[in-house]
Amino acid sequence: MEKIESALRLVIAFTEAVNCRDLSGMMDLFNEECLFEPAFPGLTGIQINGKSATADYWKQFFTKNPTVVMKVEEVAGMGHRCFLRYSWEGLTTMAPGTDLRGADIFLEKNGLLTQCYSYSKRGSDE
């Protein structure tokens, strides 16, 4: 059962570290050659290669959004893949009244996260 849940356990630990703004704890979950495609900036996003560059992205994200909280809506996985659906609260980089929901696809390899592809959908209260 442990192998079946390996990616799921890593992603849960990742979301907990995000909400604690524990950059070191987050990066401990990724391998050195990780690939990260965040939903920001813009609709096309960017591709970030490597643990150091991924850490730089998250450091800037937390600096720009000091009160942000990731609210997990659903998490599912089996084996090396895991899917996370969430919403962000407290994003200061977006217009007031705008919310953001997202879905991430993770790949685990040798006990660490090796890929994270993020997709988002923006909405507003209007």
21-45 residue pLDDT tens: 999 999 999 999 999 999 876 656 6
The position carrying tokens 């599912």 is 76
Burial class (CB in 10 A: 0-12, 13-18, 19+), 97: exposed
DSSP 80: T
**pTM reported for the whole predicted model:** 0.88
Phi, psi of 51, deg, nearest 5:
-65, -40
- Give the model confidence (pLDDT) of 59-99 as tens digits: 999 999 898 899 999 999 988 999 999 999 888 776 666 67
Alpha-carbon gap, residue 70 to 18, rounded angstroms: 7
Nearest CA among 98, 80, 77 for reference residue 89: 98
Domains of the chain listed by start with CATH number: 6-124 (3.10.450.50)
Q: What is the pLDDT of residue 92?
A: 78
Q: What pLDDT, on the 0 to 100 scale, is given for residue 126?
A: 46
